[in-house]
Amino acid sequence: MLKLTDINRRLGDFALKDINLEVSDGQYYVLLGRSGAGKTQLLELIAGLEHPDKGTIILDNEDITTRRIQDRKVGIVFQDYAVFPHMTVFGNIAYPLKARKEDRKSIVEKVENAASAMNIKHILERNTEKLSGGELQRVALARTLITSPRLLLLDEPLSSLDASLKDDMKRLLRNLNKAGQTIIHVTHDYNDAISLAKRVGVIHNGRIIQEGSVDEVFKNPSNRFVARYAGIRNFFRVDISLEKGILSGVTRNNVRFKLENKNTGSECLLIIKSDSIILSKEMPEDKELNIIKGKISEIIPSEFGVEITLDAGDLFYVNLHTSVFEKLKFVEEEEVWMSFPSGSIVALNGTS
């Protein structure tokens, strides 16, 4: 288990302030924040690349606050991968084993296994100069995993991958975690957080401003920043089914969505942006739309108008501009219709 207590670190104008964080074994912890929020700095403190001005870092009941980088057994994969340019792929992955002076035979065996697991066995003899970003990342990941780190730190591992590679990498990371690897993953992208995390921490201006399970953080943002940053409180885990040629997703509470995307598995996560939902008092006639009836459970003022919470079995959050709200005059307990096009639903392979 990793435990950070009252970590403070000043770096020029920026400072990490009073960071308290616990990551239990086997956890997949996503640290979510904008660029410049202090995510990378926090990872570097945990890896020992920097040292805190104040506070302690405990890993598996040992105080590692001032321990040297090479003795921490915390693996970090940098955003730019930091693959050694003067070695082949094999040389890179074998590097930690050579540093430990393992014998040649066991090095070859372990490197080949690690490369197979990352699907890069065919490029082992290549120089790293001409590898793609995705390949470099796998080299860096294999190189780190071969050290069997107690904790794996990933700095924006999905940000520079294209869509299909991103899905592959997500699957790989999820499987790693399932196999018991504790992971801390920093990202600016809430999609990553929702689809991978068991726990989420939101970091802003050097402070962790909210922490909890994915549902806790996104459904109940503790303050406006988290809510705005997240901006996506309408997300639903659904079972996918195909009925009469129509692909649909159904939540546990029996809310049904019509879907467009045919590339989803048997289960997935749906995200509906709150500003793509239209509310009306009468049932809309366009049969192409998703049309769901719900009851207004709460109306609260928001930055540009009001935020309406609707209960349709699952809770939906809809933002209305003041002018719209004044025209339609919704009240709490009123039954209304929500509508949104299938195209406005983002489907994530979240649970495969």
Partner 1 sequence: MLLSSLVLLFILAPLAGMFIHTGGAQFLETVKDKEVHQSVWLTLWVSFAATLFFAAGAIPLAWLLARKKFPMKNVVQGIIDLPVVLPHTAAGIALLGFISRDGFLGKAASSVGLNLVNHPSGIALAMAFVSVPFLINAAKDGFAAVPERLEKAALNLGASQSKVFFTISLPLAWRSITTGFVMMFARGMSEFGAVVIVAYHPMIAPVLIYERFSSYGLNYARPASVFFILVALLFFIALRLISSKRKVKHINIDAETD
As a whole number of Å, the CA-based R_g of the chain is: 23
Cα–Cα nearest to 262, from 277, 229, 240: 240
Q: Which is nearer to partner 1, 47 or 184 (CB)?
A: 47
- Out of 29, 78, 218, 317, name the contact with partner 1 by CB under 8 A: 78
CB of 337 to partner 1, least distance (A): 54
Residues 134-163 that bind partner 1 (CB under 8 A): 143-144, 147
Cα–Cα nearest to 208, from 192, 196, 191, 226: 226
* Interaction between residue 11 and partner 1 (CB under 8 A): no
Span interacting with partner 1, options 26-34, 84-92, 216-224, 273-281, rule CB under 8 A: 84-92
Residue 168 neighbours by CB under 8 Å, 6+ apart:
none
How far apart CA 69 and CA 67 sit, in angstroms, is 7
The vertex-271 CA angle with 270 and 277, nearest 5°, equals 120
- Out of 31, 76, 197, 348, name the contact with partner 1 by CB under 8 A: 76
Sheet holding 267-272, edge to edge: 256-258, 246-250, 235-243, 267-272, 345-348
* Interaction between residue 87 and partner 1 (CB under 8 A): yes
Span interacting with partner 1, options 86-94, 302-310, 329-337, 342-350, rule CB under 8 A: 86-94
* Site size toward partner 1, by CB under 8 A: 29
CB of 23 to partner 1, least distance (A): 18
* Interaction between residue 181 and partner 1 (CB under 8 A): no
CB of 140 to partner 1, least distance (A): 8
Residues 15-74 that bind partner 1 (CB under 8 A): 47-49, 68-70, 73-74
The packing angle between helices 133-145 and 163-178, to 10°, is 10
* Interaction between residue 91 and partner 1 (CB under 8 A): yes
In a 10 Å sphere around its CB, with 0-12 CB exposed, 13-18 middle and 19+ buried, how is residue 161 labelled?
A: middle
Give φ, ψ of 177 to 5 degrees. Answer: -65, -40
List 194's β-bridge partners, or say none.
none
- Pairing of β 151-155 and β 74-77: parallel
* Interaction between residue 108 and partner 1 (CB under 8 A): no
Q: Which is nearer to partner 1, 87 or 161 (CB)?
A: 87
* Interaction between residue 127 and partner 1 (CB under 8 A): yes
CB 55 within 8 A of CB 8: yes
- Out of 86, 130, 287, 329, name the contact with partner 1 by CB under 8 A: 86
Span interacting with partner 1, options 89-97, 184-192, 257-265, 338-346, rule CB under 8 A: 89-97
- Interface contacts to partner 1, rule CB under 8 A: 47-49, 68-70, 73-76, 78, 80, 82, 84-88, 90-91, 95-96, 98-100, 127, 143-144, 147
